[in-house]
Chain A
Amino acid sequence: MKDRFASFHPLVNFVYFASILVFSMVFMHPVLQAASLTSAVVYSIMLNGKKAVKFNLLYMLPLLLVAAVLNPVFNHAGVTILFYLKNGNPITLESILYGISAACMYVTVIVWFSCYNAVMTSDKFIYLFGKIMPALSLIFSMVLRFVPRYLAQIKVISNAQKCIGRDVTQGNLLARARNGMTILSIMTTWALENAIETADSMKSRGYGLPGRTSFSLFRFDARDQSVMLVLIGLIALVLFGALMGENTIRFFPSVKWLAVTPRSIAVYIAYFGLCMVPVIINVVEDMKWKRIESRI
């Protein structure tokens, strides 16, 4: 399915992912962790479908289990001793809980990154950083243009050399090395020679004049504004919670977190809401569309 959240302005996408990634790494509170992990998994399945289910079950679940088991084997801090290992080291409840929590955090961040990759395409990234440094965005764009082009040209040269028996796949080891060097040397000559025309084309279109601007297809519209406001509001609430110590948990020497109060429940809800923003947008848009479709 087509992701609606990805169609928002890159700034909205970026603020969302930056905050979510940082929060998921920093806040170890079990309720927040659960919220973040669930949303990450739901959103990744929404984005990548079957592939995401497979990825989550096949790689993320074992990773989570292994990390959760490995921590208590090596970490023996904590006051609640469950039993002793053969070599005399204790296994503690705290280290098991910490292992699970750390593994959860690790997996959550990886799943979020898989979502990030699907939503933040290279042109969005270039656009955002081009705002800060216009020259940089052009360089990015040129790299994306010339790397595939050079790779294709190496293939052409290699094929041409193959037909006179001079490719890297032909002859003995020494000949292969020599042929490889020759191909690279032709490639360099070719690239420099052709770059002259590229430079002419750039100069002839006024490159180098002062006051260059950076054009993009993105527009920050009302829809982006409202979602941005919601995001900022939720982030502020979560940060307020962090300030009050609601979002953290102490594992060693004993597990301890703040008691659940209406304030903490509000923070939990805000955090869950923040994590679910793309999912909510997708669901709402989907429902809207179905309603419109049924009326046609």
Chain B
Amino acid sequence: METYRIEDLVFSFPGQERETLSHINLTIASGEFITLCGKSGCGKSTLLRQLKTILTPHGERSGRIYFCGQPIEDMDQRTQASEIGFVLQNPDNQIVTDKVWHELAFGLESLGYDNATIRLRVAEMASFFGIHTWFHKSVTELSGGQKQLLNLASIMAMHPSVLILDEPTSQLDPIAASDFLETVKKINRELGTTIIMTEHRLEDILPLSDRLIVMEAGAIIAQGLPNQVGASLGDKKHPMFLSMPSPMQIQARVSAEPIAPITVKEGRQWLNAFLADKTAAPMPEGKENSKASAPAVIQFKDVWFKYEKNGTDIIKDLSFEVREGQFYCIVGGNGTGKSTTLSLISGLLQPYRGKILIGGKNPAKISAKELFTRNIGFLPQNPQSLFVKKTVELDLHEMLAQTPLSKEEKAEKIRSIVKFAELEHLLAMHPYDLSGGEQQRAALAKVLLLEPRVLLLDEPTKGLDSFFKEKLAVFLQKLNESGVTIVMVSHDVEFCAKYGELCSMFFDGSIITTNETRKFFAGNSFYTTAANRMARHIWTEGVTIEGVIELCLRSK
């Protein structure tokens, strides 16, 4: 039986010539697990929103969509609300009420069920999702992962036959994300619910999917079993291939067989077979770290921090140094104090014991002007909180409003920043209308106008797809080469491994270990990149995809 049948769907937004969706034909069988991927702005979300009429944006539409054989326009709102579940990106925005139990009941209240039915359904869902332990809590007490799980549960309480998820894990940390995906998998496997999902994090989700659909510029360019699609993208050297799991990328570049391993396990098996009649190439010597003798710009000496007098210590006995020109990454789990450390560096918070020196001075003692102009730049986790004006251009000008520069000098400065961050075509837009990656770049440009010597980044890759990540990395490397010291806090192990120079592992309020990136990841066996997990039994220091590919190619 089919859940959806889409016939020749064309959609364009009002006033736009370009077709956002062009001639989509798709049949989705009941119980299928479908993953939809593609660059940001390729029309994935627009396509998903066509599948539930109440969320469909205004615009020109032609073609037909059938839900269980019935045209979707003919379905009444009540059936759609209960039959088609829709989970959105931001966990916080979707929660409407103040208590977990009330949120679970929200949809059922709307559908007008009586108390006894709601009680049963809510109890069932709470048990299925393991929510019963925090059933009575306020939603503000929940973590991001719990919030998204709650959103999922409150939709599942209405017993939908199809579940549509629009990048549900983009705002979650890796552990919470894989928990969430496990639950989605459980729903698909144990309840037979059809799943249609868009996702950037393909490593975790491809092993679960029945079908992978790749979109580009509003059209479906490939679909089929994940490894078949992966292999065909690899053959065409399509840019989307860079979002595929590491084992698949390594295999495709090393050998021509159409195997396309998806998981680390499959990757390992392939690698062992590949190297069976070869001798593994030796690791190349790593180059010595030349910046180790540069002067320290950030120094922490036995720093302790807590939020309240009787609260627990967030930062415990933390000591580390960042030297000029380094690209320093801090990785570690949620709530270990990584972001707090950045706030301490920028003087937003102050330690109750120990010393922090920024360029030899205490950040809490120097004036904000001295600290934040030509000294420290901080890009917060949510770039939206930096924008203040109607357009990107005005926003950049606002940054220089209080400086004593002449009009021409300001214009010149902004021109060069705009060119650097590639914002030319976005200048007239409202900052909130930009995509995640563009917002990140505009915010970065804003911070860069203050000409920081040290740039602090809090989760800069959150919610970005692999293309925007790549772009961001290019900017960061350019900045780093021009002498800017970069300190980055991130969950994104792959990103840190590829671009970082030094890495630190943060745990329980302190740094456990710091090392040069390659050695750092070689020393971890679990908290490391997929490429490393796949190849570490042969090359412990093969950390990045490129590194492992090179080693494979050199093996004779």
Please name the residue on chain B nearest to A201 by beta carbon. B94
Is A82 interfacial (CB-CB < 8 Å)? no
Of residues 55 to 69 in B, which have CB atoms within 8 Å of A's CB atoms?
A: 55
Known: A141-B102, A164-B386, A215-B102. A202 touches B96 (CB 8 A): yes
Contact B96 A198 (CB under 8 A): yes
Contact B81 A160 (CB under 8 A): no
Contacting B368 at CB < 8 Å: which of A160, A165, A204? A165
Name the A residues within 8 Å of B385 (CB-CB). 153, 156-157, 159-161, 186, 190
Contact A163 B99 (CB under 8 A): no
Is B327 interfacial (CB-CB < 8 Å)? no
Interface 9-mer from A12-20, A67-75, A142-150: A142-150
> Roughly how many angstroms separate A209 CA and B78 CA in the complex, as a whole number?
7
> Roughly how many angstroms separate A186 CA and B431 CA in the complex, as a whole number?
11
Contact B55 A141 (CB under 8 A): no
> Roughly how many angstroms separate A212 CA and B372 CA in the complex, as a whole number?
53
Name the B residues within 8 Å of A162 (CB-CB). 348, 368
Contact B110 A141 (CB under 8 A): no
> Roughly how many angstroms separate A234 CA and B107 CA in the complex, as a whole number?
42
CB-based A-B contact count at 8 angstroms: 149
Contact A198 B380 (CB under 8 A): no
What's the dominant secondary structure at chain A's contact region? helix
Is A205 interfacial (CB-CB < 8 Å)? yes
Please name the residue on chain A nearest to B390 by beta carbon. A189
> Roughly how many angstroms separate A242 CA and B98 CA in the complex, as a whole number?
43
Known: A209-B77, A215-B108. A138 touches B97 (CB 8 A): yes
Is A207 interfacial (CB-CB < 8 Å)? yes
> Roughly how many angstroms separate A145 CA and B386 CA in the complex, as a whole number?
24
Contact A159 B348 (CB under 8 A): yes
Contact A189 B111 (CB under 8 A): no
Interface 9-mer from B17-25, B36-44, B112-120: B112-120
* Residue of B77, B93, B115 with highest tally of chain A CB at under 10 A: B93
Is A123 interfacial (CB-CB < 8 Å)? yes
> Roughly how many angstroms separate A122 CA and B93 CA in the complex, as a whole number?
23
Name the B residues within 8 Å of A198 (CB-CB). 93-94, 96
> Roughly how many angstroms separate A186 CA and B383 CA in the complex, as a whole number?
12
Is A211 interfacial (CB-CB < 8 Å)? yes
B332-370 vs A, CB cutoff 8 Å, 1 = contact: the mask equals 000000000001001010000000000000000000110
Is B298 interfacial (CB-CB < 8 Å)? no
Please name the residue on chain A nearest to B93 by beta carbon. A197
Please name the residue on chain B nearest to A166 by beta carbon. B388
Is A286 interfacial (CB-CB < 8 Å)? no
> Roughly how many angstroms separate A223 CA and B180 CA in the complex, as a whole number?
41
Contact A182 B388 (CB under 8 A): yes
Name the A residues within 8 Å of B119 (CB-CB). 215
Name the A residues within 8 Å of B369 (CB-CB). 165
> Roughly how many angstroms separate A149 CA and B139 CA in the complex, as a whole number?
10
Contacting A206 at CB < 8 Å: which of B81, B93, B140, B432? B81
Contacting B99 at CB < 8 Å: which of A141, A149, A185? A141
Is B181 interfacial (CB-CB < 8 Å)? no
B371-384 vs A, CB cutoff 8 Å, 1 = contact: the mask equals 01100111010101
Name the B residues within 8 Å of A141 (CB-CB). 96-99, 102
Is B86 interfacial (CB-CB < 8 Å)? yes
Contact B346 A163 (CB under 8 A): yes
Contact B97 A205 (CB under 8 A): no
Contact B140 A148 (CB under 8 A): yes
Whole-angstrom distance from the CB of A36 to the nearest CB of chain B? 33
Please name the residue on chain B nearest to A170 by beta carbon. B368
Contact A164 B372 (CB under 8 A): yes
B87-130 vs A, CB cutoff 8 Å, 1 = contact: the mask equals 01110111111110110011111111111001100100000000
Whole-angstrom distance from the CB of B218 to the nearest CB of chain A? 22
Is B447 interfacial (CB-CB < 8 Å)? yes
> Roughly how many angstroms separate A203 CA and B52 CA in the complex, as a whole number?
11
Contact B96 A212 (CB under 8 A): no
* Residue of A156, A170, A205 with highest tally of chain B CB at under 10 A: A205
Please name the residue on chain B nearest to A214 by beta carbon. B109
Please name the residue on chain A nearest to B348 by beta carbon. A159
Is B453 interfacial (CB-CB < 8 Å)? no
Contact A144 B108 (CB under 8 A): no
Contact A204 B81 (CB under 8 A): yes
Name the B residues within 8 Å of A193 (CB-CB). 384, 432
Contact B98 A206 (CB under 8 A): no
Whole-angstrom distance from the CB of A198 to the nearest CB of chain B? 5
Whole-angstrom distance from the CB of B51 to the nearest CB of chain A? 11
Please name the residue on chain A nearest to B113 by beta carbon. A213
Please name the residue on chain A nearest to B382 by beta carbon. A156
Contact A212 B112 (CB under 8 A): yes
Contact B109 A145 (CB under 8 A): no
Contact A163 B372 (CB under 8 A): yes
Task: Please list 6 pairs of residues, one from A and one from B, whose beta carbons are closer than 8 Å in the complex, sorted by A's number.
Answer: A142-B96, A163-B378, A186-B387, A202-B106, A204-B85, A207-B110
Measuring CB to CB, which residues of chain B are less than 8 angstroms from any residue of chain A?
A: 52, 54-55, 77-78, 81-82, 85-86, 88-90, 92-99, 101-102, 105-115, 118-119, 122, 139-140, 151, 154-155, 158, 343, 346, 348, 368-369, 372-373, 376-378, 380, 382, 384-388, 399, 402, 432, 446-447, 450
